[in-house]
Amino acid sequence: MAWSGTPYVLVIIRLAAAAKRTLVEVTQGMRRVLAGWIAAAVALAVGQLVAAGVGRDSAPFYAVGSAVVDRTPSGVREWVISNFGTDDKAFLFACLAVLVAVLSALAGTVERNGRPIGSAIIAAFAIFGAVTAMSRPTSTGAFVWPSLLGGVVGVVVLRLLLGYRPVAGVIDSGDPELSRRRFFAAAGILAAASAGAYALGRKLVDRSAELAADRRTLRLPVPQSPAPPIPPDVNVRGAVPYVTDNGDFYRIDTALQVPQMTTGEWRLKIHGMVDRPRTITWNDLVSMAAVQRAVTLTCVSNEVGGDLIGNAVWTGIPIKPILDSVGVQPGANMLLSRSVDGWTAGTPISTLIDGRDAILAVAMNGQPLPTEHGYPVRQVVPGLYGYVSATKWVTDWEITSFDKATAYWTDRGWSALGPIKTGCRIDSPSSGARVGGGTQVIAGTAWAQHRGIKTVEVQIDGGAWQTANLAPEYSIDTWRQWWLPWQAGKGTHTIVARATDGTGVTQTSETADPVPDGASGYPKKVVRVDA
Ligand SMILES: Nc1nc2c(c(=O)[nH]1)N[C@H]1C(S)=C(S)[C@@H](COP(=O)(O)O)O[C@H]1N2
Ligand SMILES: [Mo]
């Protein structure tokens, strides 16, 4: 039998040919994906650039993002906030970026000369962007253009990169490929150009320099009733600082782009069930008698043990005299406040006139409000969760009633009324910590805004409740710190705490999720003591 190597050689040649074909297909596939990405980048950049002339909220990425925010069910929102906290916006942008990347990769992959399905995907996204832009509260008819023009340019770029005529021919003329060099040269130039155009578009709509100048020159009111000095012993070792720095203060809102409004532009329009409708300017506002008060804000999304709570010294103008000046009509029981970006909160009028320090705040810890915290004017109402009271960038007050009107979060499954539940948090030791044996300090904070904190108790390993030491009470509207020395023995220990408010009611042990009216249950920490 004549042995011959020929079949093996043939197999190797065939394998090599197959490998080469696969490689060509893969690189062609990669080129299609890349073409889709570049088309999307160019479309978004054109959209952002056009938005600079049309209005900041018309930019496709932000318009779509805001539409997603407004339509996110409360369960999903809570999942995002409990997993990403105040990075919720970064998470949303990441999700959107992935969505755009996947859709545009698909668009590049399926686009054919006579079968422009990829173009259709880009067009659909552009139309979706235009529709969402039109639904923004600040929209004008021109808000359709950023997305639509971006879409048109995106389609043209996609087709040119794939070697097709920009407008689809009816007859498929095959795939006349761009040379490798020309493709990558074009892709590189377009990627760089779109990054530059996007950055320029963002810069053109950014007014932070103007706002910084406004902040430097504005006249803050001198409080006729300053906050009493804060004694150092309101702070307890092991608990978070009693006064939260502006930079550390939690931020929660639906604004993907922080509203930027100068004091000169700011107006508060008061209308609805009032005898004398009125519009207040910044100068009107700061000419009124101001007060300064420490108030602890809490977010209804704050989970047991969470950090969506902060305490600041606010300077502002009491709301009651303003309501008196417009003459609230009988039957009105809700102040529906609206921010410049269309967010709303419904606050019981009773909580604004019962003597508590409900204010239109203009300063936070002695500084004009940071932009993220409502510059130039926001509401602060002690005792109510932020979603029903703490409107930032507030520009409109409608006096109405709870049976006629609903607000942003009540339309999404949250309770119409949002008094803050009594709660507490263990700050030290931290969960899962390994601590040394001997005397430890268990410390934390407790709050029951506008009722005050009477006692905090701590339970270790299911034993008897021990009364903790309390820092002096500065105000019933702020949190109060507490601590308990603990002889820590070797082993794993469970620490639980509970607070009792100024009316003698202890916080409920019943655990509840934030939806619909705030989380409840005792905070708990498990620590290991290495003797
Ligand atoms: N305009 C506007 N104001 C808003 C919100 C918002 O989404 N938009 N969120 C509210 C909520 S839910 C809370 S908890 C507080 C948080 O205020 P902060 O970000 O200054 O801590 O602002 C409130 N004011
Ligand atoms: Mo909130």
Q: Does the beta carbon of 62 sit less than 6 angstroms from any atom of ligand 1?
A: no
> Which residue's CA is the closest to the ligand 1 atom numbered 19?
251
For ligand 1, atom 13, the nearest C-alpha belongs to 386
Distance, CA of 326 to CA of 324 (rounded, Å): 6
Reported as a single tens digit per residue, the pLDDT across 134-153 is 999 999 999 999 999 999 99
Give the neighbor-by-neighbor strand order of the sheet with 469-470: 423-428, 438-447, 480-488, 469-470
pLDDT for 504:
98
| 298 CA from centroid of ligand 2 (Å) | 7
- Which ligand places an atom closest to the C-alpha of 515? 2
Q: Is residue 95 a contact partner of residue 88, using CB atoms and an 8 Å limit?
A: no
**Helices 180-205 and 6-54 sit at what angle, rounded to 10 degrees?**
20
Query: In angstroms, what is the span from residue 288 Cα to ligand 1's centroid?
Result: 25
User: What is the pLDDT, as a whole number, of residue 373?
Assistant: 98
Q: How far is CA 398 from CA 268, 278, 347, 418, in A?
A: 10, 11, 11, 19
Our CA dihedral for 14, 15, 19, 25, rounded to 10 degrees, sits at 50
Q: pLDDT at position 172, please? A: 55
Q: DSSP for 231-247, please give it.
A: -GGG--TTSPPSSPPGG
In whole angstroms, give the CA distance from residue 126 to residue 108.
16
- Reported in sequence order, the residue ranges of 283-354 that DSSP labels E, i.e. its strands, are 291-298, 309-318, 334-339, 344-348
Q: What is the Cα–Cα distance from 295 to 315, expressed in whole angstroms?
A: 10
- DSSP-assigned beta bridge partners for residue 271: 398
Compute the distance from residue 428 Cα to the ligand 2 centre, in Å: 25
Distance in Å, CA 276 to ligand 1 centroid:
29
* Token pair of 387 as six digits: 């979603």
| Phi and psi angles of residue 456, each rounded to the nearest 5 degrees, phi first | -130, 135
Q: Which residues contact 321 (CB under 8 A, 6 or more apart)?
A: 288, 289
E strand or H helix at 272, and its extent? strand 267-272
Q: Which residue has the tokens 């007060």?
A: 291
Pocket flag, ligand 1, residue 387 (CB < 6 Å): yes
What separation in Å is there between the alpha carbon of 28 and the centre of ligand 2? Answer: 49
* Ligand 1 near 54 CB (within 6 A): no
pTM of the model: 0.93
Point out the ligand nearest to the CA of residue 378: 1
> For 160-170, what is each residue's pLDDT tens digit?
999 998 887 65
**What is the structure's pLDDT at 214?**
98
Ligand 1 neighbourhood includes 253 CB (under 6 angstroms) = yes
Q: What is 352-370 written as a DSSP string? A: HHSSS--EEEEEETTEEPP
Which ligand does the CA of 254 lie closest to? 1
- Which residues have C-beta within 8 Å of that of residue 71, sequence separation ≥ 6? none
Q: Which two tokens stand for residue 307?
A: 């950090």
Judge: domain 232-412, CATH 3.90.420.10. Answer: yes
Q: 386: Cβ below 6 Å to ligand 1? A: yes
Q: Which ligand is nearest to the CA of 137?
A: 1
User: d(Cα 224, Cα 315) in Å, to the nearest integer?
Assistant: 10
Give residue 171's pLDDT. 55
C-beta of 250 in contact with ligand 1 (< 6 A):
yes
369-424 pLDDT per residue, tens: 999 999 999 999 999 999 999 999 999 999 999 999 999 999 999 999 999 999 99
| Ligand 1 neighbour 391 (Cβ under 6 A) | yes
Nearest-CA residue for atom 9 of ligand 1: 253
Query: How is residue 293 annotated by DSSP?
Result: E
Angle separating helix axes 88-110 and 6-54, nearest 10 degrees: 130
Say yes or no: CB of residue 343 within 6 Å of ligand 1: yes
Closest atom, ligand 1, to C-alpha of 298: 14
CA of 299 to the centre of ligand 1 (A): 8
CA atoms of 482 and 444, how far apart (whole Å)? 6
CA of 385 to the centre of ligand 2 (A): 6
Rg (CA), the chain: 30
Ranges in the chain, pLDDT < 70: 1-5, 169-176
For residue 392, how far is its CA from the centre of ligand 2 (angstroms)?
Answer: 11
Distance of CA 33 to CAs 107, 175, 482, Å?
8, 16, 58
Residue entry with tokens 């406040």: 337
CA distance 478 to 297: 8
CA–CA gap between residue 362 and residue 341 (Å, rounded):
18
In the prediction, which pLDDT does 8 show?
A: 86
* Helix 6-54 vs helix 145-161: crossing angle, to nearest 10: 160
Between CA 105 and CA 116 the distance in angstroms is 14
Name the nearest CA neighbour of 493 among 450, 445, 459: 459
CA-closest residue to ligand 1 atom 20:
373
CB atoms within 10 A of CB 212: 10
Sequence-separated (6 or more) residues with CB below 8 Å from residue 287: 221
Ligand 1 proximity of 373 Cβ (cutoff 6 Å): yes
Helix pair 145-161, 117-134: axis angle to 10 deg: 170
- Evaluate: CB of 393 within 6 angstroms of ligand 1: yes
Which residues have CB under 8 Å from 4's CB, separation 6+?
none
Query: CATH class for domain 423-530?
Result: mainly beta
Q: Which ligand is nearest to the CA of 301?
A: 2
CA of 393 to the centre of ligand 2 (A): 15
132, burial (CB in 10 Å: exposed 0-12, middle 13-18, buried 19+): buried
Domain spans in the chain, listed from the N-terminal domain onward = 6-206, 232-412, 423-530
